[in-house]
Amino acid sequence: MWRGLIEEFRDRLPVGAQTPVVTLHEGNTPLLPAPELSARTGCDVYLKVEGANPTGSFKDRGMTVAVSKALEEGSKAIICASTGNTSASAAAYAARAGITCAVLVPTGKIALGKLAQALVHGARLLQVSGNFDDCLALASKLALDYPVSLVNSVNPDRLQGQKTAAFEIVQALGDAPHIHCLPVGNAGNISAYWMGYQEDHAAGNATRKPRMFGFQASGAAPIVNGAVVREPSTIATAIRIGNPASWTKATDARDESGGLIDAVTDRDILQAYRLLARSVGAFVELGSAASVAGLLQATAQGRIDPGQTIVCTVTGHGLKDPEWAISTAPAPTTIPADPLAAAKALDLA
Ligand code: F0G
């Protein structure tokens, strides 16, 4: 039985016998072949489906370690800023640990499902008039001045947990992929994967390290532009971030791996979102589709040689944002409870 990340990767994480393990049995997510994407790129493309984690996003990998370490240090409360997924995950792990969780989110800019998660798990939710970057500045200040542990990805325990996704991929493929694509927001995850791949390579588990390809939304692309974006804007609210905390780590990952960090438009994100849902059977959130939008863009630009193994992380579950799914699909047809009417509506009769 899978026992969660800390037990499965104990010797490669900053935990000891005295660490109280707080787990929801996160990790062990599918590495799903994506034939449609393989056909479009001439490569062997897989999705690392992180929406299959307990709270529906990759944040659980970091949160199991961050909350366990916070407990070990005697913390009674955690705090985070969030575009939604971090708060959902922090709320669930805090509930499991029996400690208080405070979350700061930008008013009106987080998906409905994520809001529901923070509330149902009993977090103290503050909606802030400002964007994610303002929320993170506030949360960091509170963690300095009051007895609460910050569990954003500036907390190194978060990245330690998140690096395990790379370990799982190397285990599943028998080696590292040639290219790894992922969405970039606060830039913690790309940094964590790069750390994981480097460790696996150093340990002799992989013969190579992948080129790291990160993708920001074009209205929230500070790393691509080389400047802070004061008012980030994108339909992909998960990655609506103008001043990423792990900026330098992400550019290091890009440069050391021979990769790239580029921007994708909201239109391309939406197209990839639909393609994943309709042709791969993967319902992911908009922010997650940025990795696939980026892969297709890089292919169109001639940057992808055929025959390579490529993994795209799809970071969160589509059900977190049902409003988007419904508003972008054709309206359903309403019929009386009558077989002929049903047959006609389905173009069968
Ligand atoms: N995809 C999803 C679904 C996310 O929720 C996030 C970040 C990212 C990608 C980007 O990852 O920040 O490590 O570069 N969400 C954070 C949050 C900011 O508050 O939930 P990153």
What values do phi and psi take at 123, rounded to 5? -70, 155
Binding-site residues, ligand 1, Cβ < 6 A? 57, 59, 82-86, 153, 183-189, 238-239, 285, 287-288, 315-316
**Residue nearest to ligand 1 atom 10, measured at CA:** 185
Please report, rounded to a whole number, the percentage of residues in the chain having pLDDT higher than 90.
Answer: 99
Q: Measuring CA to CA, which residue among 5, 87, 51, 12 is closest to residue 280?
A: 51
Average pLDDT, the chain: 98
What is the whole-number distance in angstroms between the Cα of residue 152 and the centre of ligand 1? 10
CA of 208 from ligand 1 middle (Å) equals: 26
Is the Cβ–Cβ distance between 193 and 163 less than 8 Å? yes
Distance CA 276, CA 100 (A): 37
Q: What's the token pair of residue 302?
A: 């001639």
Beta-carbon count within 10 A of 69 CB = 24
pLDDT for position 207 = 98
Q: What is the pLDDT of residue 328?
A: 86
Residue 313 contacts residue 48 (beta carbons within 8 Å): yes
E-strand ranges in 91-178 read 100-106, 124-128, 149-150
Residue segments in the chain with a per-residue pLDDT below the cut of 70? none
* Main-chain dihedrals φ then ψ at residue 7, nearest 5 degrees: -70, -40
Contact call for residues 47 and 94 (beta carbons, < 8 A): no
CA dihedral 125, 129, 135, 137 (to 10 degrees): -140
* ipTM for this prediction: 0.99
Q: How many CB atoms lie within 10 A of CB 53?
A: 27
pTM for the whole structure: 0.97
pLDDT for 97 equals 98
Q: For residue 70, what pLDDT is reported?
A: 98
> Which is the closest atom of ligand 1 to the Cα of 84?
20
Q: Supply 211's token pair.
A: 């080129």
Q: Tell me: the pLDDT tens digits for 297-330?
A: 999 999 999 999 999 999 999 999 999 999 988 8
Under 8 Å between Cβ of 111 and 183: no
Pairing of β 31-33 and β 44-49: antiparallel
Look at ligand 1, atom 9, and give the residue with the nearest C-alpha: 183
Cα 302 to its chain centre, rounded Å, is: 26
How far apart CA 87 and CA 78 sit, in angstroms, is 10
Pocket mutation for ligand 1, best pick of 53, 55, 57 (most atoms within 8 Å of C-beta): 57
Q: pLDDT (tens digit, 9 = 90+) per residue, 189-208?
A: 999 999 999 999 999 999 99
Which atom of ligand 1 lies at the shortest distance from residue 185's CA?
A: 14
